[in-house]
């Protein structure tokens, strides 16, 4: 065969009308085993046959084989490198489940043992089924008529329709072939799983499917309600007179003191924080810049930090703003009793609180705009039944990594759909714990802050609702905050958010039935707010997709419909992603990650419902200290320049990197002095044993997720024996997602 550079086509000769004997051209078609030889004109059949060379055919086959071997070697090398990376990660990591936090409890160990036993059982079943498949004992999709005749009537009635017909290509093992004990055991296993296991799985899967459909209908109704709100432009509006609040000087000139109190009531701003040195400075900066008369606003920085360095830094920041004329005070508790609820309760017990009418709450990572109070407080005027005005969260680091993008999808749906619909139609929703303004009278009437659960915000909202107070949600008022960027921090946060509502449900259920609110509000509170959205969702998600679906691969008599596995979850994912349309490319990772998080949520739900383990422990979510934009850095620089300081270069907003560098050099000396003092005090108070201890490894592994990853991958392998294509792909990708999360490869590792 001529080399590629010497290939000559006879097409030009044909068009030119000349008969020339060109060089034969060998063209390789799509089929690697067929060659078509196109010769020049004038060659007869005998000559063509003589030109065929067996070496050409062998050369093509060798080339194909070489490429195939190279591809296989590349895949094998990549797989081996992946196994090596996994092995190194496991050896260098520490077990997150062994840490003394909310997850390390007897409840967590019991669940891990259950998953390990489940995994070992699935391995044994896979080996058993593989041997049966290789020996030809398997029944692919349907059961033979000879086998059906020996089944009891009650078992026959419970069989799916597709198992009652005999396929044509099925080979039925005869009695003389049953020589060994292994085949007998397999036949006994078939009878046992049809009589008992398949029936139980079908009943449980049917129950979970009903819950799944009920929750899907609720989700669709919420989306339709949000759509109607958008079309009709329904949203809370403050009284017309308070939409344009006058300044304090204007009111004083007019002598209208009563109108002054209406527009600018006394507001207490509380900022609870605990060991959050990454975000305290930015948060205090934004709160101190809120546009409100300074003599009618008091800022309380409620520091629960046990880190001496953090205490000194926060106190110094408060002192700096106090010297600039801001009405701000620093409070520190010696004991962290009651966590955040105890901190807020202690602050509300101060004598001067009785002079204030409203209280605004901001967590340590929140960055409110200067007009926050002017957009929220006017809604209270002329509405004495209003207890709470809640603003929406937006996230400064939503595009930081895949984990933050997936969290943004969830929380956008929560605020855009759930909170807005419940606020417009029911005047009730769960308080988000921050970025909200409370009427102090409503707090006191509802019993104040209580530390009986880890969701004190939901607790006070439910008790206020039972007292007849109303809530307003403002979707247009947005407050910047930060999402956890590591899976460890996000996992702890979700554990608290899902164990707390179950604790609250147990303690609030008697009060709900005894309350004087209408019956339909009680039904909404029990059936929708608690059971459907807090208990049923993690239950069916974990049970259906992480337990029942893998089991059906080993018990093919109990199969899940394709629409349960694929179509309905995809529809729900599309609805969830509508409030964040830019996240549409992440719809598949979002679906898989939500199923992965069902393990943590189910674990937390059971822990809170039955008061297992350390479900009452509060773990502060790790922050990275992201700022909203470069303009905030300029604002920080300009505010710092207003302090008394020798004449120096003045920063202007037109400057960029150079101005920031100049400002950093001016303040570097002060920062270093403060940090050295804090380090010296910390060194003096640090025990010798802690000084000599080695730093912990930053990366962690999560055994429950890894166990479920192995289980799902084994079930995917078993599905290949049954030729279940869609089930195989779902189990494969879901198992890979569990593996990625279990090895802490999602998000950013924070040491």
Pairing of strands 700-701, 94-95: parallel
Q: What angle do CA 112, 113, 115 make, to 5 degrees?
A: 65
Q: In 10 A of CB 681, how many CB atoms?
A: 14
Residues 6+ positions from 701 with CB-CB distance below 8 Å:
89, 90, 93, 94, 95, 96, 742, 743, 744
The closest alpha carbon to 456, from 325, 341, 623, 334, belongs to 341
CA separation (Å) from 197 to 112, 114, 130, 159?
23, 18, 20, 12
φ/ψ of 297, rounded to 5, equals: -145, 135
The closest alpha carbon to 282, from 366, 372, 395, 363, belongs to 366
Residues 6+ positions from 465 with CB-CB distance below 8 Å:
428, 471, 517, 521, 525
Interatomic CA distance for residues 490 and 407, integer angstroms:
9
- Supply 535's token pair: 């208990």
- Supply 697's token pair: 């490894």
| Active site annotation includes 97 | no
Which of 97, 303, 304, 459 is flagged as catalytic?
A: 304
Please report the sign of the dihedral spanned by the C-alpha atoms of residue 628, residue 630, residue 631, residue 636.
positive
| Active site annotation includes 365 | no
Which of 303, 365, 457, 459 is flagged as catalytic?
A: 457
Q: In 10 A of CB 751, how many CB atoms?
A: 8
- Contacts within 8 Å (CB) and 24+ apart, 131-137: 131/182, 132/186, 133/721, 135/183, 136/171, 136/173, 137/173, 137/183, 137/186, 137/187
Task: Say which residue the tokens 């046990």 belong to.
Answer: 306
Determine the 3-state secondary structure of 392 from DSSP: strand
Q: In 10 A of CB 722, how many CB atoms?
A: 20
Residues 6+ positions from 372 with CB-CB distance below 8 Å:
290, 360, 391, 477, 479
The closest alpha carbon to 376, from 365, 366, 390, 357, belongs to 390
**What is the helix (H) or strand (E) element at residue 390, kind and residue range?**
strand 386-395
In sequence order, which ranges of 233-328 are alpha helices (DSSP H)? 248-254, 257-263, 280-288, 308-323
The closest alpha carbon to 194, from 161, 154, 167, belongs to 154
Report the catalytic residues: 304, 457
């Amino acid at each position: 065969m001529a080399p590629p550079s010497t290939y000559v086509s006879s097409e030009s000769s044909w068009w030119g009308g000349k008969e020339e004997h060109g060089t034969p051209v060998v063209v390789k078609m799509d089929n690697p085993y067929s060659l078509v030889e196109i010769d020049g004109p004038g060659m007869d059949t005998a000559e063509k046959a003589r030109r065929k060379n067996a070496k050409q055919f062998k050369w093509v086959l060798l080339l194909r084989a070489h490429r195939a071997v190279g591809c296989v070697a590349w895949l094998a090398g990549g797989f081996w490198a992946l196994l090596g990376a996994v092995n190194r990660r496991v050896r260098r990591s520490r077990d997150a489940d062994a840490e003394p936090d909310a997850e390390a409890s007897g409840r967590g160990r019991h669940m891990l043992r259950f998953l390990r036993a489940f995994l070992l059982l699935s391995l044994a079943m896979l080996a058993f089924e593989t041997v049966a498949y290789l020996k030809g004992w398997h029944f692919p999709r349907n059961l033979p008529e000879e086998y059906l005749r020996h089944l009891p009537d009650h078992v026959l009635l419970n069989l799916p329709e597709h198992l009652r017909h005999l396929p044509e290509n099925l080979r039925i093992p005869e009695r003389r072939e049953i020589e060994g004990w292994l085949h007998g055991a397999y036949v006994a296993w078939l009878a046992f799983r049809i009589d008992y296991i398949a029936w139980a799985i079908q009943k449980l899967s049917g129950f979970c499917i009903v819950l799944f459909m009920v929750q899907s209908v609720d989700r669709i109704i919420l989306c339709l309600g949000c759509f109607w709100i958008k079309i009709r432009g329904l949203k809370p509006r403050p009284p017309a007179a308070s939409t344009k609040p006058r300044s304090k000087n204007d009111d004083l000139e007019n002598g209208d003191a009563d109108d002054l109190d209406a527009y600018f009531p006394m507001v207490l701003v509380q900022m609870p924080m605990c060991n959050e040195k990454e975000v305290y400075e930015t948060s205090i900066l934004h709160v101190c810049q809120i546009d409100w008369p300074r003599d009618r606003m008091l800022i309380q920085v409620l520091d629960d930090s046990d880190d001496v360095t953090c205490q000194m830094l926060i106190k110094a920041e408060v002192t700096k703003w106090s010297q600039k004329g801001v009405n701000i005070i620093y409070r520190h508790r010696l004991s962290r009793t009651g966590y955040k609820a105890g901190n807020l309760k202690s602050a509300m017990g101060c004598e001067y609180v009785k002079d204030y009418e409203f209280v605004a709450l901001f967590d340590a990572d929140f960055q409110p705009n200067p007009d926050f109070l002017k957009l929220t407080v006017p809604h209270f005027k002329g509405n004495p039944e209003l207890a709470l005005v809640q603003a929406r969260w937006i996230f400064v680091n939503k595009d930081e990594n895949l984990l933050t993008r997936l969290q943004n999808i969830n929380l956008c749906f929560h605020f855009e759909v759930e909170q807005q619909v419940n606020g417009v139609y029911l005047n009730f929703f769960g308080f988000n714990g921050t970025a909200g303004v409370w009427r102090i009278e409503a707090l006191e009437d509802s019993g104040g802050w209580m530390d009986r659960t880890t969701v004190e915000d939901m607790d006070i909202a439910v008790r206020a609702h039972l007292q007849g107070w109303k809530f307003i949600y403002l979707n247009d008022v947005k407050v910047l905050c930060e999402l956890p960027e590591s899976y460890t921090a996000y996992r702890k946060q979700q554990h608290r958010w899902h164990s707390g509502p179950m604790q609250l449900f147990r303690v609030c259920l008697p009060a709900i039935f005894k309350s004087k609110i209408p019956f339909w509000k009680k039904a909404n509170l029990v059936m929708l707010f608690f059971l459907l959205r807090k208990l049923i969702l993690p239950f069916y998600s974990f049970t259906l997709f992480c337990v029942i679906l893998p089991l059906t691969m080993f018990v093919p008599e109990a199969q899940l419909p394709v629409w349960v596995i694929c179509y309905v979850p995809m529809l729900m994912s599309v609805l969830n992603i509508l409030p964040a349309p830019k996240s549409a490319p992440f719809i598949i990772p979002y679906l898989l990650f939500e199923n992965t998080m069902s393990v943590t949520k189910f674990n937390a739900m059971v822990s809170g419902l039955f008061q297992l383990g350390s479900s009452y422990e509060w773990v502060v979510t790790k922050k990275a200290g992201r700022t909203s934009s470069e303009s905030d850095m300029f604002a920080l620089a300009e505010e710092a320049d207003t302090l008394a300081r020798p004449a120096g270069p003045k920063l202007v907003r037109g400057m960029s990197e150079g101005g920031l560098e100049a400002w950093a050099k001016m303040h570097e000396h002060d920062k270093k002095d403060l940090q050295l003092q804090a380090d010296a005090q910390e060194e003096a108070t640090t025990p010798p044993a802690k000084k000599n201890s080695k730093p912990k490894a930053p990366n962690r592994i999560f055994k429950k997720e890894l166990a479920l990853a192995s289980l799902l991958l084994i079930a995917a392998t078993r599905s290949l024996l049954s030729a279940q294509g869609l089930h195989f792909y779902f189990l494969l990708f879901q198992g890979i997602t569990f593996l990625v999360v279990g090895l802490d490869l999602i998000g950013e590792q924070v040491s």
